[in-house]
Amino acid sequence: MAQHAHTHAPGAHEPGNHAHVEHTGESLVAAARAALTESGEQWTSMRESVFAELARHDRPVSAYDIADNLSTARGKRVAPNSVYRILDLFVANNLAMRVESSNAYLANSHPGCEHDCIFLVCDECGEATHVDDENVSQTLRALAKSESFKVERPVLEIRGLCASCA
């Protein structure tokens, strides 16, 4: 299994004073399963397959790509709509994150805690590195609030070139 791209640079972007855990591989799948079942949802084999597809990608992956891969793996057609429904459930339960500017999804490496994740999206290779910074997100939330804007969810994405492509 590929190493997940969601990592914090050592010492940088500390997401605050709490027991923040970033998961990869099997530990990520276990943490996602725990988070979903704790919220009263079932960890079905289909949901597990969709999550495993997300988790093995370093880059944001679209519902269509997941549906294609699962159709091949399962030997029968998996409809993109059913993948979308599962991805919505994952996003609502903090198991996955939607990268808006890529119209695609990433496994959430910290299903145990919620953050306004910041994505650095490479225009060349498509990789989306993920960092958390509570100061940045709280400043943006306060700014919106000062305009009497009710914040649903900040979308924090920076487009550019990753270290390998720059």
Region 100-119 residues binding Zn ion, contact defined as CB under 5 A: 113, 115, 117
Please tell me the distance from the alpha carbon of residue 1 to that of residue 26, in angstroms, as a whole number. 9
Q: What totals of helices (H) and strands (E) does the chain contain, helices first?
A: 5, 5
- Which residue, 2 or 79, is less far from Zn ion as judged by CB? 2
CB atoms near residue 11 (< 10 Å)? 6
Instruction: Kindly state whether residue 121 participates in binding Zn ion, applying the rule CB under 5 A.
Output: no
- How far, CA to CA in Å, does 50 sit from each of 14, 75, 112, 127? 30, 15, 19, 19
Instruction: Kindly state whether residue 142 participates in binding Zn ion, applying the rule CB under 5 A.
Output: no
Q: How far is the CB of 2 from Zn ion (least distance, A)?
A: 15
- Which residue, 20 or 98, is less far from Zn ion as judged by CB? 20
Residues that bind Zn ion (CB under 5 A): 15, 20, 113, 115, 117, 122, 124-125, 127, 132, 162, 165
